[in-house]
Structure 1
Amino acid sequence: MNFRFQNLLGAPYRGGNALIVNDSHLISPIGNRIAVTDLLKSQTVTLPIQASSNIIRVAVSSDGLFLLAVDENNRCLFINLPRRAVLHRITFKGPVHAVVFSPDGKFIAVGVGKLVQIWRSPGFRKEFFPFELIRTFADCNDKVTSIQWSPDSNYILVGARDLTARLFYVKKVKGVHFKPFIFLAHRDSVVGCFFGVDKKTNKINRVYTVTRDCYLFSWGYVEEEGAESDPPSPGTPERDTDGMVLDGSARKRKDFDWKDDTPGGEGEYVSKGKWELKRKDGFMQAPAKLTACDYHKGIELLVIGFSNGVFGLYQMPDFVCIHLLSISKEKITAVGFNGLGNWLTFGCAKLGQLLVWEWRSESYIMKQQGHYFDVNCLAYSPDSQLLATGADDNKVKVWTASSGFCFVTFSEHSNAVTALHFMANSNCLLSASLDGTIRAWDLFRYRNFRTFTTPSSRQFVSLAADQSGEVICAGTLDSFEVFVWSMKTGRLLDILSGHEGPVHGLMFSPASAILASSSWDKTVRLWDVFDGKGATETFRHTHDVLTVIYRPDGKQLASSTLDGQIHFWDPIDGLLMYTIEGRRDIAGGRLMTDRRSAANSSSGKCFTTLCYSADGSYILAGGSSKYICLYDVADQVLLRRFQITHNLSLDGVLDFLNSKNMTEAGPLDLIDDDNSDTEEGVDRQTRGNLGYHLPGSMPNRGRPIVRTKCLRIAPTGRIFAAATTEGVLVYSTDDSFIFDPTDLDIDVTPETVDMAINEGQMKRALILSLRLNEDSYIKKCIFAVPPSDIQCITSAIPFKYLQRLIEAFADLLESCPHLEFMLQWCQEICRTHGHSIQQNSRTLLPALKSLQKAITGMHQDLADTCSSNEYTLRYLCSSTAGTNK
């Protein structure tokens, strides 16, 4: 059970800025994690790194090696991006609203409150304190909102909320003090400021400042002969003639290698001239506010995002509008260019929307949007290729599990989606909703081809279908009934009555046509749907039953109750087999409104979702907690607890009560004194419905409560997904780095495997590699076997090594170019060991599902390739036929 975090789905973007690195890799923060999307391969991966709270700013060095991420608690992570490892950490002394690497990668400019700090970039050096503060500029009178470096890394342009922008000369010249130039005439806070470069001389000749009230100011540089150096600004830190700088912590540092001792050098660029306002242009989007902007100096293009969802693309310096389009009606929170300037990135935090648009061809490179509300339910397709999610935003999304991309969204439901189920052929998806409908979706034509309803409106909260796909069942929240429909005709066949509470759990037995249902009336009932005899068995509990699930072989039933226990039943004999007491295992995390620690809290300590492993030996359990518990069913012991998040921006992560944060009016975090979003004309984003408090209902500032609503293990058994407050967390198992021999002996060594291959003893070599259980040697022996000997060697493989061999073929099929050779192996295994596979289907099911997934994926790739080259293949075939004639 070596599961570890792999990816985060369901939420491509939650806020902050987004960047494109190396012209094809998009970096975007998702809560307290960071996602990296390969735009060429259409594949996204989430870094296995968590910040202490939601990440608000990211910056990447020009060479793409280092990533800087700053969260809401002013804590910064310095990350090696290729290795995905945290190198250094630092905490700034104020809120950070801007952070930028210098073009040469040596320095980092950080806007900390009203201060602009220049730090030396740590790099790969091993130092006791790698971050070194070089200079501090304290000239701004309000929060710093934007920082821009000049191409030569000598100047920085700083915009602030004090209606000004300032130009600082970063280097120090001995005996000369430069006062920063102040750009005035703004009537609102400066959102962005940028340098304009003359392409002929490669010198700075323009400055653009963009304000929140939708105006663009263009400034030009005018040289003045005979001008003397200005005195130092009274707001800047004190400096002496020895090149020492006094920073905010009153510590003096020498800076010998970073000062310009040549008087009359580049520093005179500022002292001998001035900047004049050349023109002022309006974007004509009032009453909307300008919320995001970016400038590409290579092609002189400016992109602007507004609070009404409109963006504009302008050619500078003539201010020619190229595009003015609308993405949505919500505020655009992030815009940006890639290195070449042909792609634009847009982010909308309220909708969870992230777009990459090519402005020349007016086409989307990437278009992803997550669920706005919590994800309620998950479903894996039988071949493990697809993952479906349903949420409180009335939408059903289908994701490609391997790439992490959503390829279709169904929005026909008019209320929250509560349950999902894939049919056996993976081409049909069922969804249940509180709007009183069960909808069937065709994943070939992407349409709703059938809708199941009831004579009077009901709210459905559970869903199940039998193995043949002929009968659909759904449990209700209000009438406490189970409705049965025919899949072919859509007719209502039966109504199963007997429960006295909401039916939240529903599942057909994998081995028979018996339906199990769980209800808040403290019972689990078994129904014979096809014979119409009603409830055949009733399992009574002492507390409300929250969910029920069958083991994959149908010989065991598990149910969770409100008192935090998991009961295991024998559905054939109707006996209670054993019980797991999980109340203390799931306990963890206290809410802000709690007056006691998590260990002493009695609320929410129960499992609301269960899921068996593919072989039925383990069970996963989750609920209103930050933990997911993994139990061994046979021994009833806790094997592992997964903490789904460390994000302190969520409620229910901390375990202990901190008295320093308590006031007479209640917890300090509940007192909201920040009106920045209201000033912008946009209300604070507050997520509602299940698991979230509506505005005004509870005074917790809309902070989501951490919880797990649904758990599903893929049929391959190597991946499981959890629908949590953070999104859909995907965990996978990776055994490639674990030495776990099956049958080790003194003669079973890598040397003996190589010796057997060299001597031509392929059967002995393959068995030795399977006993050694080393992945590289197993694959080496497979490729060493001639195709003519496959049948003979397959028949000599003992059954106990068959599962490991099938897993090796499933792994090889995903990347091996020798497709016919691999399929010949698979065919001979099924033909030779078919009887043994049927008798031990439960043990081999995860490996066989992995093999099916690999073959299905390869078949789909070949079908797409052949379809796109249909006419080329026809031409080649016709040319070959003519030549033969």
Structure 2
Amino acid sequence: MNFRFQNLLGAPYRGGNVVVSNNTLLISSVGNRISVTDLLKSQTQTLPTQSSSNIARIAVSPDGNFLLAVDDRNRCLFINLPRRIVLHRISFKKPVSAIRFSPDAALIAVATGKLLQIWRSPGFKKDFFAFELVRTFADCDDKVTALDWSPDSNYVLAGSKDLTVRVCKAYTITRDCYIFSWGYSDNEGKVEELGGEDSEPPSPGTPEKGSDRDGKGGLEANVGMRVKKRKGFDDIGGDLVEECGNLLHKGKWELLRKDNFSQAPAKLTTCDYHRGLDLVVVGFSNGVFGLYQMPDFVCIHLLSISREKITTAVFNDLGNWLTFGCAKLGQLLVWEWRSESYILKQQGHYFDVNCLAYSPDSQLLATGADDNKVKVWTVSSGFCFVTFSEHTNAVTALHFMSNNNCLLSASLDGTVRAWDLFRYRNFRTFTTPSSRQFVSLASDQSGEVICAGTLDSFEIFVWSMKTGRLLDILSGHEGPVHGLMFSPTNAILASSSWDKTVRLWDVFEGKGAVETFNHTHDVLTVVYRPDGKQLACSTLDGQIHFWDPIDGLLMYTIEGRRDIAGGRLMTDRRSAANSSSGKCFTSLCYSADGSYILAGGSSKFICMYDIADQVLLRRFQITHNLSLDGVLDVLNSKNMTEAGPLDLIDDDNSDVEEGIDKQTRGKLGYDLPGSMPNHGRPVIRTKCLRIAPTGRGWAAATTEGVLVYSMDESFIFDPTDLDIDVTPEAVDAALSEGQPSRALILSLRLNEDTLIKKCIFAVSPVDIPAVASSVPLRYLQRLIEAFADLLESCPYLEFILRWCQELCKAHGHSIQQNSRNLLPSLKSLQKAMARLHQDLADTCSSNEYLLRYLCTTGTKK
């Protein structure tokens, strides 16, 4: 039961802006969550915090400690980024179009409608309401679209839809693909204003160029400029003061040049400016981006990365990497413009994920979706490393073969394809005499027989894996065959159909259906317990039936209607409690030991049941995102109009950018029997559930993407193993008395990471065998995890490897007997060793070639 959210796969980017922190951390919003990608380690993680709706704007402090996230409902989260927790919350009165930290991280500029607000950054203060409004400016006549700070945090710049830029600006960029270069001349005489009115220019201490983040800048939708000296900050207290009195300098702003990007009829959708390199990057609605050297407007690169509009473009701090995002395609790219190579290239599924499958070693996760693509992800890093796009219709089922190197996929295009994960190719395609739509897939334990169930003809097709020939067609069902699975212990195939039956087939003997289990409602899916001695199936009335496949007897029944019920659709005429739609399980999955079962369906909940006692152990709510339909239990009556729910009324004049969530999601032409389709916002649902073969995690294919949950072992300890004498002071005392074995066991009992590593390094190399043999079996996993972590950062490689060697010698038999529980930690240790081995091999090869070169050069001289 100790599972926690770990990562979100399948959707790297869905709109909004993207920021780069500490030059290598790429931060983007994915729905109502935030994803952080380490570009050096090639790892992506999703923060456990959730906003109340889709996140529209994010901003990161210059030191990388704090993150601001504002959602569509104007609610803002102030997040401690290293600790990944929410420190403060605030709600703004109007939608936030731009938000930015000052370079000294003391202030926050927020653009809400026509207003520009300056807030004091709360930092780590533990106040009841930590946000302090310093000042509000109401100078703009229309919505503020962009903000920027001067490098000294004394001036703030605001660009508005009223065709003005206030305070100072050297480059202004317009949506109709023009860039204006402005210059300030310090001349004696009357001050002239470009907007047609007299005003005071900023002092020469003001930076010459605006930025879109610290060190960079850019504005869009501004074709004019009006400069007024509005405000400043004193360097000591950071308080806002009014500039009054005589001008220190008199001068005027002049238009130096006007350049055209020559991309008409496309519109300019995003831009960014790097002050240090004097570079401007712009993105257009036709998928083209340009990199220009200013002030001479020299085009360095002009390339196309997609056919859809680029919604974000941003420099990193050094200016050598460019980050591009395309919301409609869910595409996120990081490109090094000097070497013209990709640092990161990720794209999620265009439509909802229908199915997923774990590899036998739990290291890989395959996903199939309505966009006709199959993607394979590395679970540990969260990256997709291969995409197969040969299918011509929605992918509905996936299955990994036992050898871990072959993946099967079934599709509505009438084919079942086998993919080679070594050569990344489709090496076999299984077809039928006439076109069929496949919705379920299974393979026997030997991998010799492949079976697929159909949506239209209600048949099950059987092929030979070696020859690809069609061996048999199993007929008997009178409805779509949505569930298909071979018994783990024999060659019996179980199938479930909407004809209210579960049938068992003897595929190899050719006897047809050998057993039929009848139900009172449509059967939606069927699964075998890992030992093959139990069969579970879910029906349309919300029940889960457990059968004995050998004796053909009904063992248990779990009533799950009340457990999965929750969430009211916008189009529902009944309350969530009285509605009957969606109160059933469409996906089931047994745990590795068969003690509990996971169940999910058209609901915001995933239920975990204990099978022996038929009780609900835990209920996971997969999202709190109010931008999705079916999350709220009670609808607000004030949002109901004569034309229907307010949220479902299309605003054709809206200027909001369209992301994946604004599209029509999915293209399957079928739904559950008796259910009504929703034509408004995306409906939250779980289409597929899979538990990792190791039992240490599970994944769910939901409307928001693939949610990955894993065992939470960060704060686990055995309270019965603690007493009053087990303290950090006792550990230090044991080390000072020369008892490293006792100190290590005490630190393992406390489960404090720093103390464990301290005790490991305190052991002399000659004492490692004796200390390793004294470690109890229950602490092996924690100790192995500590070694895997140390190999990533510790310079004492030989010392840690000696520890691992002696630990395996002393506890080899115990490790083999408990391989299932120790497998995740052993895999982490193996991965760390493999990475180090590769790095050392590359270093040795480089040194070898360098020494050969030096020896050759010395001989010639």
TM-score range, shorter chain: 0.7 to 0.9
Cα distance in 1, alignment partners of residues 744 and 413 from structure 2: 57
Cα distance in 1, alignment partners of residues 843 and 549 from structure 2: 53
Residues 325-362 of structure 1, C-alpha deviations (whole Å, 9 max, x = no match)? 00000010001111111111100000000011111111
Residues 43-78 of structure 1, C-alpha deviations (whole Å, 9 max, x = no match)? 111111111111111111222222111111111111
Residues 645-676 of structure 1, C-alpha deviations (whole Å, 9 max, x = no match)? 11111000000132211222221222223523
Cα distance in 2, alignment partners of residues 384 and 681 from structure 1: 32
Deviation at 1:846, TM superposition (A): 3.5
In structure 2, do the counterparts of structure 1 residues 275 and 445 end up closer, same or farther at CA, with 3 Å as the change threshold?
A: same
Cα distance in 2, alignment partners of residues 741 and 90 from structure 1: 38
Amino acid corresponding to residue 68 of structure 1 in structure 2: L
Amino acid corresponding to residue 402 of structure 1 in structure 2: S
Are the equivalent residues in 2 in contact too, given 1:330–1:348 (CA < 8 A)?
yes
Are the equivalent residues in 1 in contact too, given 2:566–2:577 (CA < 8 A)?
yes
In structure 2, do the counterparts of structure 1 residues 83 and 829 end up closer, same or farther at CA, with 3 Å as the change threshold?
A: closer
Which residue of structure 2 lines up, in the alignment, with residue 251 of structure 1?
A: none
Which residue of structure 2 lines up, in the alignment, with residue 383 of structure 1?
A: 361
For the residue of structure 2 that corresponds to 1:450, the secondary structure is strand
**Pair 1:50 & 2:50 matched:** yes
Residue of structure 2 aligned with 1:822, choices 791, 804, 814: 804
**Pair 1:158 & 2:146 matched:** no
In structure 2, do the counterparts of structure 1 residues 30 and 691 end up closer, same or farther at CA, with 3 Å as the change threshold?
A: farther
In structure 2, do the counterparts of structure 1 residues 876 and 322 end up closer, same or farther at CA, with 3 Å as the change threshold?
A: closer
1:137-536 equivalent positions in 2, closer than 5 A: 137-167=137-167, 195=169, 207-227=170-190, 258-260=239-241, 268=248, 272-536=250-514
In structure 2, do the counterparts of structure 1 residues 829 and 64 end up closer, same or farther at CA, with 3 Å as the change threshold?
A: closer
Cα distance in 2, alignment partners of residues 532 and 760 from structure 1: 72
Cα distance in 1, alignment partners of residues 805 and 446 from structure 2: 28
Which residue of structure 1 lines up, in the alignment, with residue 213 of structure 2?
A: none
1:780-819 equivalent positions in 2, closer than 5 A: 805=780, 809=784, 812-813=787-788, 815-816=790-791, 818-819=800-801
Are the equivalent residues in 1 in contact too, given 2:536–2:544 (CA < 8 A)?
yes
TM-score (norm 1): 0.83
Deviation at 1:416, TM superposition (A): 0.7
In structure 2, do the counterparts of structure 1 residues 636 and 832 end up closer, same or farther at CA, with 3 Å as the change threshold?
A: closer
Q: Name the % identity.
A: 75
Cα distance in 1, alignment partners of residues 683 and 307 from structure 2: 27
In structure 1, the gaps of 5 or more residues are 169-194, 196-206, 237-254, 838-843, 880-885
Are the equivalent residues in 1 in contact too, given 2:772–2:810 (CA < 8 A)?
no
**Pair 1:731 & 2:709 matched:** yes
Deviation at 1:152, TM superposition (A): 2.5
Cα distance in 2, alignment partners of residues 432 and 473 from structure 1: 10
For the residue of structure 2 that corresponds to 1:598, the secondary structure is coil
Cα distance in 2, alignment partners of residues 738 and 128 from structure 1: 31
Are the equivalent residues in 2 in contact too, given 1:741–1:774 (CA < 8 A)?
no
For the residue of structure 1 that corresponds to 2:140, the secondary structure is coil
Cα distance in 2, alignment partners of residues 750 and 256 from structure 1: 42
Aligned length: 805
Amino acid corresponding to residue 108 of structure 1 in structure 2: I
In structure 2, do the counterparts of structure 1 residues 166 and 426 end up closer, same or farther at CA, with 3 Å as the change threshold?
A: same
1:460-859 equivalent positions in 2, closer than 5 A: 460-677=438-655, 685-690=663-668, 702-740=680-718, 805=780, 809=784, 812-813=787-788, 815-816=790-791, 818-819=800-801, 821-822=803-804, 825-826=807-808, 829=811, 831=813, 837=817, 844=818, 846-847=820-821, 849-850=823-824, 853-854=827-828, 857=831
Cα distance in 2, alignment partners of residues 481 and 117 from structure 1: 65
In structure 2, do the counterparts of structure 1 residues 451 and 543 end up closer, same or farther at CA, with 3 Å as the change threshold?
A: same
Cα distance in 2, alignment partners of residues 286 and 681 from structure 1: 23
Cα distance in 1, alignment partners of residues 538 and 764 from structure 2: 51
Deviation at 1:403, TM superposition (A): 0.8
Residues 754-783 of structure 1, C-alpha deviations (whole Å, 9 max, x = no match)? 999999999999999999999999999999
In structure 2, do the counterparts of structure 1 residues 280 and 412 end up closer, same or farther at CA, with 3 Å as the change threshold?
A: same
TM-score (norm 2): 0.85
In structure 2, do the counterparts of structure 1 residues 791 and 459 end up closer, same or farther at CA, with 3 Å as the change threshold?
A: farther
Deviation at 1:84, TM superposition (A): 1.6
Deviation at 1:459, TM superposition (A): 1.0
Are the equivalent residues in 1 in contact too, given 2:748–2:782 (CA < 8 A)?
no
Amino acid corresponding to residue 92 of structure 1 in structure 2: F
In structure 2, the gaps of 5 or more residues are 200-235, 792-796, 854-861
Amino acid corresponding to residue 216 of structure 1 in structure 2: I
Which residue of structure 2 lines up, in the alignment, with residue 177 of structure 1?
A: none
Cα distance in 1, alignment partners of residues 364 and 781 from structure 2: 22
Cα distance in 1, alignment partners of residues 760 and 329 from structure 2: 49
Are the equivalent residues in 2 in contact too, given 1:27–1:36 (CA < 8 A)?
yes
In structure 2, do the counterparts of structure 1 residues 499 and 782 end up closer, same or farther at CA, with 3 Å as the change threshold?
A: farther
Are the equivalent residues in 2 in contact too, given 1:620–1:711 (CA < 8 A)?
yes
1:852-871 equivalent positions in 2, closer than 5 A: 853-854=827-828, 857=831, 860-861=834-835, 864-865=838-839, 868=842, 871=845
For the residue of structure 2 that corresponds to 1:600, the secondary structure is coil
Deviation at 1:530, TM superposition (A): 2.1
Cα distance in 1, alignment partners of residues 65 and 743 from structure 2: 43
Deviation at 1:128, TM superposition (A): 3.7
Deviation at 1:741, TM superposition (A): 5.2
Are the equivalent residues in 1 in contact too, given 2:287–2:309 (CA < 8 A)?
yes
Deviation at 1:850, TM superposition (A): 2.7
Are the equivalent residues in 2 in contact too, given 1:16–1:56 (CA < 8 A)?
yes
Cα distance in 2, alignment partners of residues 647 and 514 from structure 1: 42
Amino acid corresponding to residue 45 of structure 1 in structure 2: Q
Amino acid corresponding to residue 606 of structure 1 in structure 2: C
In structure 2, do the counterparts of structure 1 residues 860 and 548 end up closer, same or farther at CA, with 3 Å as the change threshold?
A: farther
Which residue of structure 1 lines up, in the alignment, with residue 110 of structure 2?
A: 110
Are the equivalent residues in 2 in contact too, given 1:451–1:490 (CA < 8 A)?
yes
For the residue of structure 1 that corresponds to 2:577, the secondary structure is helix
Please give the root-mean-square deviation of Cα atoms over the aligned residues, in Å: 3.8
Amino acid corresponding to residue 239 of structure 2 in structure 1: W
Shifted more, 572-581 versus 530-539: the winner is: 530-539
Deviation at 1:263, TM superposition (A): 5.5
Deviation at 1:475, TM superposition (A): 1.2
In structure 2, do the counterparts of structure 1 residues 624 and 753 end up closer, same or farther at CA, with 3 Å as the change threshold?
A: same
Are the equivalent residues in 2 in contact too, given 1:385–1:857 (CA < 8 A)?
no
Which residue of structure 2 lines up, in the alignment, with residue 34 of structure 1?
A: 34
Deviation at 1:579, TM superposition (A): 0.8
Cα distance in 1, alignment partners of residues 648 and 401 from structure 2: 46
In structure 2, do the counterparts of structure 1 residues 777 and 90 end up closer, same or farther at CA, with 3 Å as the change threshold?
A: closer
Deviation at 1:258, TM superposition (A): 2.3
Are the equivalent residues in 2 in contact too, given 1:379–1:387 (CA < 8 A)?
yes
Amino acid corresponding to residue 804 of structure 2 in structure 1: M
Shifted more, 18-27 versus 491-500: the winner is: 491-500
Deviation at 1:394, TM superposition (A): 0.6
Cα distance in 2, alignment partners of residues 393 and 701 from structure 1: 19
Cα distance in 2, alignment partners of residues 508 and 743 from structure 1: 44
Deviation at 1:432, TM superposition (A): 1.0
1:67-106 equivalent positions in 2, closer than 5 A: 67-106=67-106
For the residue of structure 1 that corresponds to 2:473, the secondary structure is strand
Amino acid corresponding to residue 507 of structure 1 in structure 2: M
Amino acid corresponding to residue 181 of structure 2 in structure 1: S
For the residue of structure 2 that corresponds to 1:418, the secondary structure is strand
Cα distance in 2, alignment partners of residues 610 and 699 from structure 1: 23
